[in-house]
Amino acid sequence: MKTRIITGVIFGIVLIGSILLSEYSYAALLLFLVVQGQRELNALASAPGISLQPARGFSFAISLFVFLLFIGIPLLDGSYGVKSAHLLLALACFSLLFSAALAVELFRARPNPLGNLAYLFVGPLYLALPMGCLLVVSIGESGGYEPWNVLFFFFFMWASDTVAYFSGRFFGKRKLFERLSPKKTIEGFIGGTIASALVGIAAHAVLGTYTLPVWLLVGVLMAFAGTAGDLVESMFKRQAGIKDSGTLLPGHGGILDRFDSTFFAAPVYWAGLTIAEWL
């Protein structure tokens, strides 16, 4: 627990500092999470319980391509409006990249080529797309960088995870999803959801961009999405037969272990705020 706390504090300082420093350090942080997450995902896919042999170079290339689209298309357009020509260009480049992966798979002659090719879509959807959503969330309506939008995303996640852990430890009796995570309890999940909703009240008071009911709903959805993300990564690790996805963060494991909730919740956060803007 001591190691876990020290690592969490240090990494939390790095994360918050990167977000507050500038949009460039923030984008670099997200890029690091995509790259390191892909490395751990590749190792997990090759574990005995899964036994895929994907073309690792293409797994990195496609994930990076998808993430960089969230930077490149706005730069091409000069704003965060997206032109159809840019989307078509991105689609064409993606098709060429995947076609190259198909051709390479012909010559690799590895077992389960269909599984290897299907895996190439996991990184972009599971890692790159969520980090791209977090990048878009950091841009305000005026086009300027809004770090507090991102900070509150992590406040939602940290409050939900922390309170869920202690609520489950002291009050937990009924298992939430014993097949994948024996330690998670319904009581812990309820505690985490309440904590996340309370952060919604704080977001309304500090940011003031949306109504209180919107922020409360976002808080509840974040708790649900974060819990689902945790369970999904547990499912991956159980099939692979491993305890942690990596060793980068002592006491926590790897990036996938620490950010499993984040990868799942980021698109939900983006969707919630985007729909609230439309309404």
Decide if pLDDT at 244 tops 80. yes
Q: Which residue has the higher pLDDT, 235 or 84?
A: 235
Query: Residue 74: pLDDT band by 50, 70, 90 thresholds?
Result: low
Whole-angstrom CA distances from 46 to 97, 115, 256 are 22, 12, 15
Mean pLDDT computed over 268-276? 91
pTM of the predicted protein model:
0.89
What is the chain's mean pLDDT, rounded?
Answer: 88
Contacts of 96 (CB under 8 A, 6+ apart): none
Percent of the chain with pLDDT over 70: 94
Q: Quick one: pLDDT at residue 22?
A: 93
Cα 38–43–48 angle (5° rounding)?
A: 145
